Amino acid sequence: MLNVYERLLTGDKQQKQAYEVIMHLNVLHDLKAYNPILCGTFPLGIHTSKSDLDIILHSKDLRCLEQKIKRLYSHHESFTSKRKNIREREVLKVNFIYQSFSFELFAQNQPVNEQYAYLHMIIEEKILLKYPEWKQKVIHFKQSGVNTEAAFCKLLGLEGDPFEALIQYGKQNHIIA
pLDDT mean across residues, the chain: 96
Is it the case that residue 83 has pLDDT exceeding 70? yes
Give Cα 60 to chain centroid, integer Å.
20
Specify the pLDDT at position 1: 52
CB contact set of 154 (below 8 Å; sequence gap of 6+): 141, 146
Q: Which amino acid is it at 128? A: L
The pTM (predicted TM-score) of the whole model is 0.94
Kindly report, residue by residue over 16-61, the tens digit of the pLDDT.
Answer: 999 999 999 999 999 999 999 999 999 999 999 999 999 999 999 9
pLDDT tens across 91-100, in order? 999 999 999 9
Domains and CATH numbers, the chain: 4-111 (3.30.460.10), 117-172 (no CATH)
Give the pLDDT confidence of 55-67 residue by residue, as tens digits: 999 999 999 999 9
